[in-house]
Structure 1
Amino acid sequence: MDDFDCDDFEKTLKVIVVGNGNVGKTSMTTRYAKGRYTGNYKKTIGVDFMEKSVELRDLGETVNLMIWDTAGQEEFDTLTSRYYKGAGAVIYVFSTVDRDSFDDLPKWKRKVEDECGQICQVLVQNKVDLIDDAAMSRSEVEDMADFMNIRLFRSCVQDNVNVKEGALEAGNQS
């Protein structure tokens, strides 16, 4: 048998994307991993996943991000929490125009921590292009990030604003 070097294996990081339904999780993961935006809403049933190789600045190496886009609807709750296991990072997503998605963030954090323990966590406020119709104030969002003790990114998937930054931060912190 030939000798092999452990450095020859690709490094992978499982990143789960969680939050209420219709906040833009699938659009965000598709935009980031595939560079596409459709604008069509399609409910995720269970989980979907995509892969993206990235150069992480803190590690100085390429890492394969396995991005798991989980269903946000209550009816899939018991199904999706099983997919959290083995995650090294989580991206919590809420919508600027959906108050419930914002208020439910601590619930999502508890669910993830119950399954994964303490992993890298990033908070993404999506749909900032709709800020005139915001369901929460800027200071409320900043207070939530402080309360959850995680870094906040404000994004607009449609306009491709700050889409990759949250995923790269998740990878760099892991």
Structure 2
Amino acid sequence: MQDYSYLLKYIVIGDTGVGKSCLLLQFTEPGSTFNERHDVTIGVEFGVRRVEVNGQALKLQIWDTAGQESFRSITRSYYRGAAAALLVYDISRRATFRNCKTWLTEARACGNPQMVVILVGNKSDLSESTRAVSEAEGRAFADEHGLLFLEASAKQRKHVDEAFVRPAEAIHGLLATGAIEAGDLSGVKIGPGSRARSNDGGKACC
């Protein structure tokens, strides 16, 4: 396994059917074929990918959660110790955008206060006639709540990498300035390729 400086825990949240699993699959398995009829996530799915940020290797450990109400208690347990969250909505379904406020409130109540959140409007490949949420509305919501923002298309693999890398860049910046430190609460662990020192005598975490 290749060395990495830090391991970052991610969580992907949002209503069912917005394309969370497709975004994860397109990011962690770039050569995979897009499936219009991806099975609904039952509980939690998991993926890993290594990325480079400012010359450092970061390993992203990504937990994709079910959007159905019946699994919300399981989802809440994954907020704890998450360094970043992708909050996903479907640009053609206004209700999924409206529910982002509830998802965000829950994430901030159950997660760490410095968790980086990016709002992702998925399915940007759809025609303008089917769009129910404008890009300006999504950006305004993100600005109001201090979130990163972009629109993406899992189908076309457009901005998929950016949706996951931008939070990693933000977290890397927080680590560099000392605004956050590696530890279970921050969702960041020191990797085997890091020169950083942990609080247990300098041993690197994996």
TM-score, with normalisation over the residues of structure 1? 0.89
Residue matched to 1:90: 85
Structure 2 match to 1:71: 66
> One-letter code of the match for 2:88?
V
Partner of 1:3: none
The ranges of structure 1 where at least 4 consecutive aligned residues each deviate by more than 4 angstroms after the TM superposition are none
* Aligned length, in residue pairs: 165
- Asked if the contact 1:47–1:83 (Cα under 8 Å) also holds between the matched residues in 2, the reply is no
Show the counterpart of 1:45. Answer: 42
Q: Is the CA contact (8 Å cut-off) linking 2:43 and 2:74 kept in structure 1?
A: yes
User: What is the root-mean-square deviation in Å for CA atoms of aligned residues?
Assistant: 1.4
> Which of the pair is proportionally richer in helix?
1
Q: For the residues of structure 1 that align with 2:150 and 2:108, how far apart are their CA atoms?
A: 20
1:172 aligns with 2:169: yes
The alpha-carbon distance between structure 1 residues 156 and 9, as it changes in their structure 2 partners (threshold 3 A), is closer
**Residues of 2 paired with 1:79 and 1:31: CA distance?**
24
Specify the alignment match of 1:125 in structure 2: 121
Check the 8 A contact 1:90/1:120 in 2, yes or no. Answer: yes
Cα offset, 1:107, TM superposition = 0.8
Cα displacement string for residues 94-137 of structure 1 (whole angstroms, at most 9, x for unaligned residues):
00111111001111111111111231111111001113211123
How many angstroms apart in 1 are the aligned matches of 2:77 and 2:119? 21
Q: Deviations over 1:1-29 (max 9, x none)?
A: xxxxxxx7752000101000000000000
Structure 1 window deviating more from structure 2 (47-56 vs 32-41): it is 32-41
- The yes-or-no answer on 1:139 pairing with 2:125 is no
Find the partner of 1:108 among 98, 103, 106: 103
| Aligned mates of 1:68, 1:122 — CA distance in 2 | 15
The gaps in structure 2 that reach 5 residues or longer are: 172-206
| More divergent stretch after superposition (43-52 vs 146-155) | 146-155
Equivalent pair of 1:27/1:157 in contact (CA under 8 Å): yes
Q: Give the AA of the match of 1:144.
A: F
Deviation at 1:169, TM superposition (A): 0.5
